[in-house]
Amino acid sequence: MLMTNIRLYYDNVLECGINITLYDDDYHYICRVMRVNTDNIIKVFNHKYGEWNARIISHTKNKCCVLALGEQIAEPVHTIFGPIVIFSPGRKGLSSFIAQKATELGAIAIIPTIMDRSVSNSINITKLRLIAKEATEQSGRIDIPLVYDACYIDDLPEHCQALNCNTIIVADPTSSANYAILHTLAAKQNYGIVIGPEGGMTDKELNILASKFKNIYKIKLGPRILRMETAIIAILSVYQITVGDWA
């Protein structure tokens, strides 16, 4: 048997001896992209049942059968804390990039939010969810972030409340505060991280957030103006260093 580093998210019960049949995208990934063979060992996981080694029993031209073995290699995760990424849909490819990097950097949820200066009001949520799944498999994390349907900023507080989030952090190049203010935040809480459009958020939108959330922190990400794809990596990195799972 050949041990591999291939990981596959499986959204169902996982336990020793369970048989799993893979079709469609999962089958394509395992058999066509990664080209596994019978008796190869892969890893299957989800946050409810942990991560398990599993053996490829057989595969045909349209399905693959896998057997979960008796070795659980990661425990389930029952309580998940982390950043909630709130971003304005942008030019082609940007939303996909943000979903990938947000997943790799530990976001527990991703909420595309249409703002007055958003470049695009159209977003392929199905594609973003697939990207989040793939980034989860490749990054070694055990939980997939929730990817919400696109909403307007007026609807944002309701989504955040459902995620036990009443504090948001806004990337604001006009702010006098820097990331050091994040050291004052408590660990093991959920915080919203807002990346506005490249034209910036309007005063009206900032006022809506200030009126709907218990706390709002505006921070400047250094002396230079950052594009959205740079800003998302920068702010998630300083978040994880100060209050997240890098701290």
Tokens of 132: 């989040």
Quick count: other Cβ atoms within 10 Å of Cβ 127?
Answer: 13
**pLDDT value of residue 72:** 86
- CATH number of residue 67's parent domain: 2.40.240.20
User: What does the alpha-carbon distance between residue 52 and residue 46 come to, in Å, rounded to a whole number?
Assistant: 9
The verdict on 225 and 118 lying in the same domain is yes
**Same domain, yes or no, for 159 and 194?**
yes
What is the reported pTM? 0.93
Per-residue pLDDT of the chain (247 residues; tens, 9 = 90+): 677 899 999 999 999 999 999 999 999 999 989 999 899 999 999 999 999 999 999 988 889 999 999 878 999 987 789 999 999 998 888 999 999 999 999 999 999 999 999 988 889 999 999 999 999 999 999 999 999 999 999 999 999 999 999 999 999 998 999 989 999 999 889 999 999 998 899 999 999 999 999 999 999 999 999 999 999 999 999 999 999 999 7
Are 38 and 113 in a shared domain? no
Q: Tally the C-alpha atoms within 13 A of residue 215's C-alpha that lie toward its C-beta.
A: 15
CA pair distance 1, 44, nearest whole angstrom: 16
Start-to-end CA distance of the chain, whole Å, equals 39
Strands 50-59 and 41-46: antiparallel
- For residue 125, how many C-alpha atoms fall within 13 Å in the half-sphere facing its CB? 13
The verdict on 90 and 194 lying in the same domain is yes
In terms of domains, do 128 and 149 share one? yes
